[in-house]
Chain A
């Protein structure tokens, strides 16, 4: 489906962008040939979110749209921002790149988008080398930078139209209108950018990035410094875009954002990509579970027979916490409960919790340093 179809053909009579874009995506699925709908015996794991998607979207997810191979970058100052990074981004996925400040996230994005030169390595975007075939590669990419960089004295309409022209697209006022409406900027189309709020400027940068109907959208910390409501709106927008087939790569400091949005997650630290995995797989592999027991009677100390379980007793002696690996074949819970019973310890309630992505991230980065 061409990009104009994504936005242009489905804009009529649909009040909400998400509804409209979802409709569009369903139509796309209905057109898919029979052979592509069935995936008997497929061993390819599709992220959880894909369960709710049409099969054409699932097929698309298996294709690589960005291929980064042994990419390194050393700045003139001698600082090595990237160290032989290799990464494949799948078509149609939301990929979150996590990492602390100075980890190399923005450098990686900047190289792919053509803003920074790589020292060594190659990047291909939809099969096009970003150096040798930069026109084809860049035409597919939209970039929302981290900083709110805008021409303060331009109008909203002029700057978005300019962005479209810059990417070689013919003027399409209908499309620009739709993008501005979808981003709740239509009322501000004639306003100068300097009169916009921070949140509006952030949306404007997204409108500029979408103006040329990209297949890939880079969002460099899209919700940095925005309020909670706008943040949720952004998430909604990103999901809507993904539903139209746009591949989204976002960097973020907010772990909950990656946890909420991403299909896959990459963790970068000190220029090295230390992990790439499906979000749910990552949670499953590296997440730890804890079982907390609320005791009927408070304990002064733990019986020696329970030492092997490395239990934590709360300061008031009323709670016992048992930590175990989520992916472990045997959690040891049954044995623990039996030993507790044998020791005469009675509990009145229990609950389990799992490590958040944030805890996993902190643990990974800590291990890498």
Chain B
């Protein structure tokens, strides 16, 4: 295993985050804070408790998950797309490093950034609403698994995209709507029965539900199912990445 090479890619990506601190960290934190101000303080004070939890506190896991998903995808997709766009991908392809090591490095860096961001948003949320974490281990596990899984997804998008528009397409048109409709701001038990059934086809429901359970011990679906679904997504994305590397899809002609 070429650990120095993996380290080089990882540190290079982390350095890019430091250079673009405003865009990478400050911007999502401000956006999330605005959600807390609007939904937590302004509107939230007029909404009844959900499952015995104040609305402001209820939306915290969903908001963290929203940022985690979008940032994981955009960080990883940009990380691998940019060398393809500039042409510096030649260096990666000609280096003595395996595809697995390349993917692990980019995904590791993207997941690290998302995790840090998630924890910062959690700390920021603590300034607005009282937060409790009923199952810290599970909270961290869901956080890590989701960050890695969706960073893998972002990596796939970064390989697939052949222009910047496509790079933004999936996060904007798929990830964000699914997160909003996946119970980030409400419990799916608040929906009419038919929509409750339809919502179960939204994969983000399982991620948000499991993550919320780790905070407040309440969930829309069983935590076992949430965990299993997260692992299934991870396996699917891993399989796609393996296929990309086996075939050289969009990497090697």
- Interface positions of A (Cβ within 8 A of B): 75-76, 113-117, 134-139, 141, 143, 145, 147, 149-153, 158, 161-170, 208
Q: Contacts of A208 on B, CB cut-off 8 Å?
A: 91
Chain A residues near B93: list those with CB within 8 A: 113-115
Docked pose: A151 CA to B79 CA in angstroms: 12
How long is the Cα–Cα vector from A364 to B11 in the complex, in angstroms?
50
Q: A115-B90, A138-B95, A168-B96 are in contact. Are A158 and B252 (CB under 8 A)?
A: no
B253 touches A76 (CB 8 A): yes
For this complex, 12 residue pairs linking A to B, each with C-beta atoms less than 8 Å apart, are A113-B90, A114-B93, A114-B94, A138-B96, A149-B88, A151-B82, A153-B19, A165-B5, A165-B9, A166-B91, A166-B92, A168-B2
Complex alpha-carbon distance, A150 and B9, angstroms: 15
Within B85-106, the residues touching A (CB, 8 Å) are 86-88, 90-97
Given contacts A115-B252, A135-B2, whether A158 and B96 have CB atoms under 8 Å apart is no
Count contacts on B: residues with CB < 8 A to the other chain. 26
Q: Which of A149, A152, A153, A167 contacts B95 (CB 8 A)?
A: A167
Pair A169/B4 contact, Cβ less than 8 Å: yes
- Determine how close the nearest CB of chain B comes to the CB of A21; give it in whole angstroms: 25
Within 8 A of A (CB), among B1-25: 2, 4-5, 7-9, 11-12, 15, 19
Q: Which residue of B lies closest to A77 (CB)?
A: B253
What mask results when residues 57 to 101 of chain B are scored 1 for a CB within 8 Å of chain A, else 0? 000000000000000000000000011001110111111110000
Question: How far apart are the CA atoms of A150 and B90 in the complex, in Å?
Answer: 10
Collect the chain A residues with CB atoms within 8 Å of residue B92's CB: 166
In Å, the complex CA distance between A138 and B102 comes to 15
| Distance, CA A141 to CA B4, complexed state (A) | 17
A166 with B8: CB separation less than 8 A: yes
Q: Which of A76, A117, A163, A166 has the most CB of B within 10 A?
A: A166
B82 to chain A, nearest CB (A): 8
Residues of B within 8 A of A165 (CB): 4-5, 7-9, 11
Residues of chain A with a CB closer than 8 A to B252's CB:
115-117
The 8 Å CB contact of A143, one of B11, B12, B90, is B90
How many Å lie between the Cα of A143 and that of B94 in the bound state?
Answer: 8
A75 to B248, CA, bound (A): 13
Candidate in B19, B90, B92, B96 with the most chain A CB atoms within 10 angstroms: B96
B7, B15, B95 pick with most chain A CB within 10 angstroms? B95
A135 to B95, CA, bound (A): 8
Shortest CB distance A109–B (Å): 10
